[in-house]
Chains A and B, each alone.
Chain A
């Protein structure tokens, strides 16, 4: 390397890449929450401690969720390639990457949701049952409402995981800071682009976590421990 890339060019490379990463992460998180929340509720409701225990169904649902979650993302990316082409018309670029990302996000968020709901005190749920509340109302006003802090936290954890996945997807299918780091940085022997991309990924993750913490604090009405 004789010349380093001037800052202005680096900026031109990473700016659209950052936007693409944010776009991929937010869209797949959205799909993950929309799909994973009901799946997680279902998983919890059918569990032995749920309101409508159905052991067999629960085991089947759990197996689907956990098997999907255990597929390494790189493999998932390749495996769902044809599905991506079917849905998005192409298998490359940041929009196409949303398909495998969302497929990874749904079971991930479902498991986190089911764990969060399990932590709601059964005394609170039973109290609601004795008021004559319907199951739907109990899910909505008791389970989801009481677990709101944990659920917001789960959205944050999902987003952070997806930043990592999105970088991987980008490296293979193109798009986002991951692609910039590998293709324009590492492969092009451009350390400046490489490290700027990496730092930006870190800043992005950190920012999303801060945002999550802030929203959690905003929605949680429990008394916080103030003296540890």
Chain B
């Protein structure tokens, strides 16, 4: 488990000081994947560099399994670094060493005997699916392959936490997928706690259990992805879920009149598949979908619909859905309220 407690870091440049991190706290439970997202300049890189122990925060603590690592120095700091495997931003492989040689680097730092080193390197290259590239030099690997070698290297010294700083930037969607698959395997097969700092929402969508949103050095949202998506006003929710206000289905002249219009967020296979039709038939209301759609967060299907209900028992139908864990937000019927 890794906890970040009240981290602050201020940079001073020509008499103006900028708070890159302003009282940032995070908690990533054992064996889970947490995505830290934010626009550029939000403090993501600074946070990543602090957690990688490359920079000291002004105040605050970074604890791995309870021990604060911020104040360590010398050999204790070097030993602590092996508890956090880091996939740095950008190309970070030694260009004069093979893939295997790169993965072996942390093991050399940890003075692991050569025989053990070889078998561990083979294991890791297998984990990232690059066993056949062991003796290939980085310049002859693709961007995605290089990034997977970097993940293997970060995992070599058996860290309890894996920190990936923008692991998918500059990769195409298919390659991004291969890198995320490897991070996912690190969690499921090695039980590593994964912290991914990224601007790429696809990362959160694919592998994150938890998410933290950074804005101007502050954490403005933090929690389980599946909880946040159903919270009204959540930035994560509005980013990850389908849009519901497509103009085409809301034209005032469409002639449709509804007794109730509501936004419904459905989480999970059962809810997404059956809740709306069942509500419609059970209460004898006419239910039409005005907007929204279906998506997938990790393995969980999630839907967000704007629905219009017509019929005497519309209110009861909505109430029934809420009782079954659907997240319902009433919307004004008029078109003016669409953006609300």
Contacts and interface: CB of A to CB of B under 8 A. Distances in A.
Q: Do A and B come from one complex?
A: yes
Interface of A: 121, 123-124, 126-134, 137, 141-142, 145-146, 148, 219-223
Contacts of B139: 221-223
Contacts of B34: none
B95 A132 contact: no
The 8 closest A-B pairs by CB, nearest first: A223-B139, A127-B92, A131-B106, A132-B81, A130-B86, A133-B109, A132-B78, A221-B137
A124 B93 contact: yes
Contacts of A219: 96
Nearest to B107: A131
Interface string B71-113: 0000000111110111011111111110000000110111000
B302 to A, nearest CB: 35
Contacts of A148: 96
B96 A131 contact: no
A142 B81 CA distance: 17
Interface string B125-159: 00000000000010110000000001001101100
A146 B95 CA distance: 7
Interface in B269-305: none
Contacts of B78: 132-134
A146 B94 contact: yes
A148 B110 CA distance: 24
Among A124, A127, A137, A222, max chain B CB count under 10 A is at A127
B62 interface: no
Nearest to B163: A130
B53 interface: yes
Contact of A126 (B88, B137, B154): B88
Contacts of A146: 94-96
Nearest to A223: B139
A127 B110 contact: no
B52 interface: yes
A141 B140 contact: no
A122 to B, nearest CB: 10
B339 interface: no
A126 B54 contact: yes
Contacts of A124: 91-95
5 contacts: A123-B92, A128-B109, A131-B82, A132-B109, A141-B105
